[in-house]
Amino acid sequence: MSQPPAGTDQPGAGTIEGLYPFLYAGQTDVSAVLEQARQSTVAKAAEIQALRRQVRDADGARLAACAREMAARFAGGGRLLAFGNGGSATDAQQIVTLFLNPAHPPQPAQPARPGSAATAGDRAAASARPLAALSLSSDPAVLTALCNDIGVDVVFARQIAAFGGKQDIAIGLSTSGNSDNLLRAFDEASRRGMLTVGIAGYQGGKMAELDSIDYLFVAPSASVHRIQEAQTTIYNVLWELTQLALTHQAPADQASADQAPADQAPADQAPADQAPGSSLEQQ
Instruction: Answer yes or no: is 257 within a domain.
Output: no
Helix (H) or strand (E) holding 173: strand 169-173
Decide if 256 is inside a domain: no
What one-letter code names the amino acid at 41? T
Residue type, 195: L
CATH of the domain at 91: 3.40.50.10490
Is residue 5 in some structural domain? Answer: no
In this prediction, residue 162 carries a pLDDT of 96
Tell me if 21 is assigned to some domain: no
**DSSP secondary structure code for residue 207 in this structure:** G
pLDDT of residue 39: 83
The total number of structural domains in the chain stands at 1
Q: Would you state the pLDDT for residue 260?
A: 43
Q: For residue 95, which of 209, 239, 227, 191 has the smallest C-alpha distance?
A: 239
* Full domain range(s) for residue 139: 29-106+119-250+266-282
- For the chain, 283 residues long, the average pLDDT of each consecutive 10-residue run is 51 59 69 81 88 94 97 97 96 96 56 55 72 96 95 97 97 97 98 98 97 98 94 96 86 42 42 47 53
Angstrom distance (rounded) from CA 120 to CA 26: 48
Residue 251, CB-side half-sphere exposure with 13 Å CA sphere: 0
- Whether 2 maps to a domain, the answer reads no
